[in-house]
């Protein structure tokens, strides 16, 4: 008898450590107010399909934690301009982040 796989709730995903999210196989569709469009928050296993929104994997999300909205928009514009580009670090952090 096969075990049915239950999808996590939104709250469970929000509380999930990024290292667990990276291995989870989960892809979230997110309406981003910061960049003004839908983006994907995706596990490491995600393979983009033509027409998919720009995706951010766990390591990229970790690099963007606490970053100023202006820097997020610049990173997003870079990913749009250079398909396949990955955020590996940022220079601007919010104060007290």
Q: How far is CA 79 from CA 23, 50, 53, 64, in A?
A: 22, 15, 11, 13
Q: Quick one: pLDDT band at residue 56, thresholds 50, 70, 90?
A: very high
Residue ranges of the domains in the chain?
Answer: 10-81
Q: Which two tokens stand for residue 1?
A: 């008898």
pLDDT tens across 19-53, in order? 999 999 999 999 999 999 999 999 998 998 889 99
Q: How far is CA 94 from CA 16, 29, 76, 90, in A?
A: 23, 25, 17, 11
Query: Which residues lie across from 89 on neighbouring strands?
Result: none
Indicate the pTM of the whole model.
0.81
CA 75, CA 77: separation in Å to the nearest integer? 5
- Whose tokens are 């995600």? That residue is 46
Parallel, antiparallel, or unpaired: how do β-strands 37-42 and 27-32 relate?
antiparallel
Calculate what percentage of the chain has a pLDDT beyond 90: 47
Q: Quick one: pLDDT band at residue 60, thresholds 50, 70, 90?
A: very high
């Amino acid at each position: 008898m096969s075990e049915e796989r239950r999808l996590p709730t939104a709250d469970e995903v929000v509380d999930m450590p990024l290292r667990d999210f990276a291995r989870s196989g989960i892809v979230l569709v997110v309406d981003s107010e910061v960049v003004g469009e839908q983006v994907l928050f995706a596990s490491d296993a995600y393979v983009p399909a033509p027409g998919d929104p720009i995706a951010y994997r766990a390591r990229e999300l970790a690099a963007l934690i606490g970053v100023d909205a202006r820097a997020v928009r610049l990173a997003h514009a870079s990913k749009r301009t250079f398909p396949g580009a990955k955020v590996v670090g940022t220079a601007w952090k919010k104060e007290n982040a």
